[in-house]
Amino acid sequence: MSHVDENSAQKKGALLKRGDYLVLLACVIAIPLLFSRYGVVGSEGTQARINAGAREFALVSLQKNQTYHVPGPLGDSEIEVRDGRIRFVRSPCAGQQCVHSGWAHRGGEFIACVPNRVSLVVLGQGAGGTYYDSINF
Amino acid sequence: MISIPTTRDDHRIAGLAALAIAIHWLESAFPSPLPGVKPGLANVVTLVVLLRYGWSAAAWVTILRIVGGSVLLGTFLSPAFLLSCSGAVAALAALGLGDRWSRAVPSWSLGPVGLSISAAVAHMGGQFYAAYRFFVPHEGLFHLLPILLVVAMLFGAVSGLVAHAVIKNLEISSS
């Protein structure tokens, strides 16, 4: 391939170079693919699965109001089910972002306490259903 | 007294790493728009260093920032530190590839914005992989992936724009 002289788009000081447009194009293509693969908003969930590390800790009904203590490497994460919703009430982690994530109730909604390795996912009709929540570093 | 000979490059890297640590630290004091996600403005320093002094200087600044920043914030060797390292390794790999690409195909070279977006997406990918692999090995985590990557693209673009402005100003002031 012969080297083309630096054209106007490549001019020094230009905001975007030609390669940058390739990156932007890749983003524009990737975004809908990612959402179609991983992100569909689900219907109201009926159950939730609580995981501790790689293991399933419990499969719980969202119809039954109850509090669960889930052991992790840092201590117990306290998870509460109330009125068809589920949340982290207390966590031994430093960031507390699992607690700040608040309630989850739609199918596919997922909250994780990464440091304590405890996560929960709401199961609803059509298991792929998803609503975004936050990840806790 | 033992004295270790230092070069001008060492001093420059140390100074830039200190700047990156300061930005990193300031940023951690602000609430995040999405829990667990930060704009990563310290990466502006990494980008400027990459484009002006090359990849290895950028890698040094990044490593020093992560270790120094985590000691300051009290997260050294914690899960957050491990995630931060995984992200940094992935981001540096992306910057290295981008840099090579720009040299190999100069007519399609990458500027700060393209490099920054690639690095931000790689950073998020690396962190995500570490979180999945070591902490929460559950497919549910993948439901967070699209929104995290989109946020990474946006923050990456912002850092790239800032880096572009900084480089432009440096060029004006040094010419």
Dist. CA B135–CA A112, nearest whole Å:
9
CB B114 within 8 A of CB A17: yes
Tokens of A13: 């000081």
Q: Which CATH class is domain A45-136?
A: mainly beta
Q: How many CB pairs under 8 A join A and B?
A: 145
Dist. CA B37–CA B120, nearest whole Å:
11
Instruction: Determine which of A42-46, A131-135, B160-164 has the lowest per-residue pLDDT on average.
Output: A131-135
How do residues A29-49 score in pLDDT, each as one tens digit?
Answer: 999 888 887 765 567 788 899
**pLDDT of the residue at A24:** 94
Q: Is the pTM of this model over 0.80?
A: no
**pLDDT of the residue at B33:** 62
- Averaged pLDDT, A3-31: 76
Instruction: Name the residue among B107, B118, B153 with its Cβ closest to that of A18.
Output: B107
What does B92-127 look like in DSSP terms, one character per residue? HHHHHHHHHHHHH-GGG---HHHHHHHHHHHHHHHH
Q: State yes or no: pLDDT of A4 exceeds 50.
A: no
User: Is residue A67 classed exposed, middle or buried when 0-12, 13-18 and 19+ CB atoms within 10 A define those classes?
Assistant: exposed
- Averaged pLDDT, B22-29: 86
Q: State yes or no: pLDDT of B6 exceeds 60.
A: yes
Note the Cα B150 to chain centre separation in Å. 17
For chain A, give every domain's residue range: 9-38, 45-136
Closest residue in B to A48 (Cα) is B140
Question: Mutating which of A87, A114, A116 best tests the B interface, going by the most B Cβ atoms within 10 A?
Answer: A114
- A5 DSSP 8-state letter: P
**Of 1.10.1760.20, 3.40.50.720, 3.20.20.450, 1.10.10.10, which CATH number belongs to B8-174?**
1.10.1760.20
How do residues B108-145 score in pLDDT, each as one tens digit?
Answer: 999 999 999 999 999 999 999 998 888 877 777 888 88
For chain B, give every domain's residue range: 8-174
Identify the residue with better confidence: A129 or B19: B19
- B134 DSSP 8-state letter: I
